[in-house]
């Protein structure tokens, strides 16, 4: 019974905190959420849509380059083993757990 009472009290405290945040946002005392570089880092200011798009495109381009390098390595490996690319690639994570056990 004490556990339930404690849980109810914690939930009421969380609700009270959320209501205070909503009231502060509606009153204009606090600005809304802003885009940040990492979770927990302090925002330097709101990011414009153009800046966010440029940052996204830059990171996506870097990811695409890394993927191309990896796929090139898979192609070289598949040629060396005389297998197809799909035989080398592992798409099912359950297979990875089985491979780790070997």
CA angle 47, 50, 55 (to 5 degrees): 75
pTM of the model as a whole: 0.43
35 lies in some domain: no
Residue 46: is its pLDDT beyond 60? yes
- Which structural domain range is residue 7 located in? 2-29+48-101
How many folded domains does the chain comprise?
Answer: 1
- Own/partner pairs for 2-9, CB < 8 Å, 24+ apart? none
**46 sits in which H/E element:** none
Question: What residue spans of the chain are helical by DSSP H?
Answer: 2-27, 49-81, 85-88, 93-101
24 lies in some domain: yes
36 lies in some domain: no
Residues 78, 100: Cα–Cα separation, whole Å: 21
- Model pLDDT for residues 47-101, shown as the tens digit of each residue: 778 888 999 999 999 999 999 998 898 889 888 888 888 887 776 656 555 555 5
């Amino acid at each position: 019974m004490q556990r339930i009472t404690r849980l109810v009290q914690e939930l009421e405290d969380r609700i009270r905190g959320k209501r205070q945040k909503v009231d502060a946002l509606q009153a204009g005392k606090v600005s809304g959420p802003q885009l940040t570089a990492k979770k927990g880092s302090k925002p330097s200011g709101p990011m414009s849509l153009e800046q966010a798009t440029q940052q996204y495109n830059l990171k996506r381009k870097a990811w695409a380059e890394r993927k191309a390098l990896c796929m090139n390595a898979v192609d070289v490996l598949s040629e060396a083993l005389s297998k197809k690319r799909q035989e080398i690639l592992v798409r099912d994570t359950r297979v990875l757990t089985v491979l780790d056990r070997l």
